[in-house]
Amino acid sequence: MNETMFKNKTAVVTGAGGTLCSAVAIELARLGAKVALLGRTVTKLEPVAAAIRAAGGTVLPLSVDVTDAAAVENARQSITQQLGPCAFLVNGAGGNRNDAVTTTTEFQPAEISDKKPEDMRGFFNLDPARMLDVIKLNTIGTLIPCQVFGREMAQRGRGAIVNFASMNSYRPLSKNLAYSLSKAGVVNLTQWLAAYLAPAGIRVNAVAPGFFANERSRKILMTGDGGLTARGQNVMAHTPMKRFGEAQDLLGAVCWLLDDERAAFVTGITVAVDGGFSSSSGV
């Protein structure tokens, strides 16, 4: 990798307070980029900013709702004034909602029964409004930063964008309809933008993380004593590398896709970083 590629250039990372994108932001700063950290909660951004400053890097944390176009534009203006125009955009903001997830993995007659258990939520009981919240965050929350910072890139005639898709983009997980649907949309958006923005000198790609170890996934996939839940065992049975991903496992793929020299002819692709999950049927 050409480590001088990032030196003194501005990188914007959304969702920068999360486990994965905080590592991406710190790595970009290590490579010499001036990094803007965007996230809803400043308290989650501050430890990331502190780590970057401690290593001698330049960083600007900003509280921003990426689904609010005006807020993102205000952030862009601050970033351009304080750090310079955006050269690299990493769209890592996203997420899910517990009330947009089914409690069953397949249809059961009880979900359409008058005696449906209160804690049961099947497909027919999903609230479209809660599903829309997830879809909006993951799709519109990716699209708006692409519009706002992409315009700035287009004015300069160059730039690189990396969106965060998921292995759910290709293999929808049971229970996670809204999340899978929205992440499939991120792949499609990435392809569409790659073709549309090519004349502007902007490359658009994505990464699709598999099962990574973070605070949320540990609660779902691991037991209190460090073992695996039934769902965790099922995931591991479909993961040839027999482990969960760590944030550091993403850095090579993200930084390569951003590198305008090493990946100069690469646009419109989604790189799976999933330990082989997407290639294994488990049979």
Q: What is the CA radius of gyration of the chain?
A: 19
For residue 278, what pLDDT band results from cuts at 50, 70 and 90? Answer: confident
3 state DSSP class of 12: strand
Distances (CA, A) of 271 to 26, 32, 39, 266, 277: 21, 24, 24, 11, 13
Structural domains of the chain, ranges and CATH numbers in brackets: 3-100+135-214+246-279 (3.40.50.720)
The answer on pLDDT for 1 being more than 70 is no
Q: So which residues are the catalytic ones?
A: 179
Rounded Cα–Cα distance for residues 64 and 61 (Å): 9
In angstroms, rounded to a whole number, what is the distance separating the alpha carbons of residues 271 and 263?
13
Which pLDDT band, with edges at 50, 70 and 90, does 2 fall under?
low
* pLDDT per residue as tens digits for the range 219-275: 778 787 778 887 788 888 888 888 888 999 999 999 999 999 999 999 999 999 998
The span from the CA of 36 to the CA of 164, in Å, is 17
**What's residue 226's pLDDT?**
75
Gap between the Cα atoms of 23 and 190, Å rounded:
22
The model carries a pTM of 0.94
Average pLDDT over residues 167-186: 93
pLDDT over 80 (residue 3): no
C-alpha span between 189 and 194 (Å, rounded)? 8
The whole-number pLDDT of residue 224 equals 76
What is the rounded distance in angstroms from the CA atom of residue 281 to the CA atom of residue 283?
5
